[in-house]
Structure 1
Amino acid sequence: MQKPPKIPESVLVVIHTPQLDVLIIERADRPGFWQSVTGSKDRLDEPFSETAVREVAEETGILVGANGVADAVLRDWQHEIEYEIYPVWRHRYAPGVTRNTEHWFSLEVPAGTPVTLSPREHTAYVWLPYDQAAAKCFSSSNSEAILQLPERLERLEPRRGARS
């Protein structure tokens, strides 16, 4: 049975600690391609926040919500970008679909939060200071999102800078 085409609307979730260490994961289908959690909507009416929570759970085993990691904070950056889908992955979409709209989120989790990868999607993970994580990402837009993390957090939570 063939899977239905992917919906060209997705999320990017930058997972980080309060100290701004960022989780990046290596793609199983492309060794050396490191990224944040990403994924498409499962249905057209799926809210982006639901897509983000689902993709984080599927790809990292980190649960967000009532039964999830205590102190986890999902932030919707209210930001989206449109990009050209890499040709190697276009077969997953309906014929003629070449562009995707991606909505950005961050997820703050306590340092030491356990990660359980989905082996069919990712083979390795690493926590790195945000600038090092950005440099390791294969996608320029993913790198840009990670580099924006300190500023975005300050904008969404201005008193954050007072925390230590």
Structure 2
Amino acid sequence: MRAPYQVLVFPYIIKDGLIEFAIFNRSDSDYWQGIAGGGEDEETPIEAAKRELFEETGILGNVSLKQLDSISSLSVENVVGEFLWGEHIYVIKEYCFGAHFLTKDIILSKEHFQYKWLPFEEAVKKLKWDSNKTALWELNKRLLKQIS
């Protein structure tokens, strides 16, 4: 059963002091986003983030997850298009993560038809959702501080 929360994950790679982020173009709508999905059963948000990351990128090992402070509130209609958890739950939380990749090689699921590795300034302009933009901004700021 789907848990009443969402996760958002941005893969990133750091090479020669430069940071690039992976963003994904959905196959059912023409917009760009991070890896997104809902928790299942009794999963914690970090467990859901790891599973979604594997399902949508094919990457399981050699990935370090960093939980962000960014937590958004999402209308259930924007997430699943219906009141999946009953008519009494209108809003769910979206927990955000960064995922440090060691390679740019990704095996896409059917959920996305393309991905791009981009620097922050280019990636953030392509994202549709404000929650994605905020999470990517936070992740970028944290990584810049880390590498300086």
What is the TM-score with the length of structure 1 in the denominator? 0.78
How far residue 125 of structure 1 moved from its aligned partner, in angstroms, is 0.8
- Aligned-residue identity in percent: 29
Question: 1:52-91: CA deviations, max 9, x gaps?
Answer: 110000011111xxxx13xx32111244221223458322
2:133 to 117, 121, 143: 143
Q: What do residues 111-156 of structure 1 show as CA deviations (whole Å, max 9, x unaligned)?
A: x43100111x1111111111211111111110111122222336xx
Q: Secondary structure of 1:8's partner?
A: strand
> Shift in Å at residue 8 of structure 1?
2.3
1:29 is matched with 28
Greater strand share, 1 or 2?
Answer: 2
Question: Partner of 1:98 in structure 2?
Answer: 90
- Go from structure 1 to structure 2 and tell me whether the alpha carbon gap of 1:98 and 1:28 turns closer, same or farther (over 3 Å shift): farther
Q: TM-score, normalised by structure 2?
A: 0.85
Aligned position for 1:11: 7
Q: 1:128 to 1:152 in 2, by over 3 A?
A: same
Q: What is aligned with 1:133?
A: 123
Structure 2 unaligned segments of length 5 or more: list them: none
Runs (4 or more) in structure 1 with deviation over 6 Å come to: none
SS in structure 1 of the partner of residue 40 of structure 2:
coil
Measure, in 1, the Cα distance between the counterparts of 2:7 and 2:47. 10
Q: Mark the runs of 5 or more structure 1 residues left unpaired by the alignment.
A: none
Note if contact 1:79-1:103 (Cα within 8 Å) is conserved in structure 2. yes
Larger Rg: 1
RMSD of the alignment, in Å? Answer: 2.0
Distance verdict in 2 for CA 1:73–1:87, change over 3 Å:
closer
2:9 alignment partner AA: V
Kept in 1, the 8 Å contact 2:76–2:83? The answer is no
Alignment size in residue pairs? 144
| 1:85 to 1:136, Cα distance in 2 relative to 1, 3 A | farther
Q: Which amino acid aligns with 2:99?
A: L
